[in-house]
Amino acid sequence: MFDLIGVPPQALFGQLLLGLINGAFYALLSLGLAVIFGLMNVINFTHGAQYMMGAFCSYMLLTYFGIPYWGALVLVPIIVGATGIIIERLFISRLYHLDHLYGLLLTFGLALIIEGMFRKQFGSSGLPYTNPIPGGTNLGFMFLPYYRAWVVVSSLVVCLGTWFMIEKTQLGSYLRAATERPDLVQAFGINVPRMITLTYGFGVGLAALAGVLAAPIYSVNPIMGANLIIVVFAVVVIGGMGSILGSIITGFGLGVIEGLTKVFYPEASNTVIFIIMAIVLMLRPQGLFGTPK
């Protein structure tokens, strides 16, 4: 069968796996952006920098404190999420009464500052992080590295867990309701400003978690987030701003499409997501899963 389309199965499945890995990061990052945008109406341009902070934080925990990967997986989202909480309280919370654009400019500026600080401290050549689960298994049609399988599975679990929390729990109903009418939800007795702060911390924690997952795959680098976040914003535009399930499905889906493009038409693999974005914007400007405003 594979001979018919002229592609060896190893190449096909190999690219499919790479696509799934990229998709796992797209999904985690666009999910965090969707959660933040949904409640706060802030387009968090610091997201890429916070992903990078996640990777650096696990590098620093390992190098300076000897805390291994599995500890970082728990600690880093909390630490970086806490920095998010401070940023929200100090800066972002002052912009809610203004246009989206101000939040975007502020978070973009913060991203530049944070990335600049890390570049000054660590240089831009990139630092290695040891793979915590080396090895892999031969599935017959392809070789599956354990760590990559772990990344895909854990991202999927975190994404679906977040979806469940938002769509199916009481806490999630507070979040959804506050997205529509924060004043009324607050008048029912819920501390909405605190909920917004914690939500931002949670979204930032998701970005940091993606950073921890990324550290053993890509080298830990101050600009790793800046490169990725551009694609992630295209994913968000395609999925529809603020849609939770939409960001998960589009994240994984576009990763896979990108991988397949590498097999069948490698010349377009770097641009295919942006081409899809242009088409979606023409046919369905609110995004595949978004609701028109």
Partner 1 sequence: MAEALLAIRDLHAWYGESHILHGMTFDVNPGEVVTLLGRNGAGKTTTMRAIMGMMAKRKGSVRYEGHELIRLKSNRIARYGLAYCPEERGIFASLNVRENLMLPPKVKDGGLPLEQIYRLFPNLMERGASQGTKLSGGEQQMLAIARILRTGAKLLLLDEPTEGLAPVIVQQIGSTIRMLREQGFTVLLVEQNFRFAATVADRHYVVEHGQVIDMIPNAAIEANREKLKAYLGV
Binding region for partner 1 (CB under 8 A)? 170, 173-174, 176-177, 179-181, 183-192
3-class secondary-structure state, position 145 = strand
Amino acid in position 184: L
Contact predicate 256/164, CB 8 Å: no
CB closer to partner 1, 133 vs 288 = 288
Say how far apart CA 161 and CA 171 lie, in whole Å.
13
List helix spans (H) across the chain.
Answer: 2-5, 9-40, 47-65, 69-90, 100-122, 146-168, 170-180, 182-187, 192-214, 224-239, 244-264, 272-283
Q: How far is the CB of 208 from partner 1 (least distance, A)?
A: 27
CB closer to partner 1, 195 vs 224 = 195
Q: How far is the CB of 2 from partner 1 (least distance, A)?
A: 45
CB closer to partner 1, 183 vs 267 = 183
CB closer to partner 1, 130 vs 173 = 173
Q: How far is the CB of 238 from partner 1 (least distance, A)?
A: 21
CB closer to partner 1, 136 vs 172 = 172
CB closer to partner 1, 24 vs 195 = 195
Give the Å distances, CA to CA, from 38 to 46, 187, 288. 16, 20, 16
Tokens (6 digits) for 191: 């501390």
Q: Is the dihedral of CA 107, 109, 114, 115 positive or negative?
A: positive
Say how far apart CA 23 and CA 159 lie, in whole Å.
12
Say how far apart CA 67 and CA 192 lie, in whole Å.
35
Q: How far is the CB of 203 from partner 1 (least distance, A)?
A: 18
Tokens (6 digits) for 68: 């291994």
Q: How far is the CB of 287 from partner 1 (least distance, A)?
A: 16
CB closer to partner 1, 138 vs 194 = 194
Q: How far is the CB of 197 from partner 1 (least distance, A)?
A: 14
Amino acid in position 46: T
Q: How far is the CB of 285 from partner 1 (least distance, A)?
A: 20
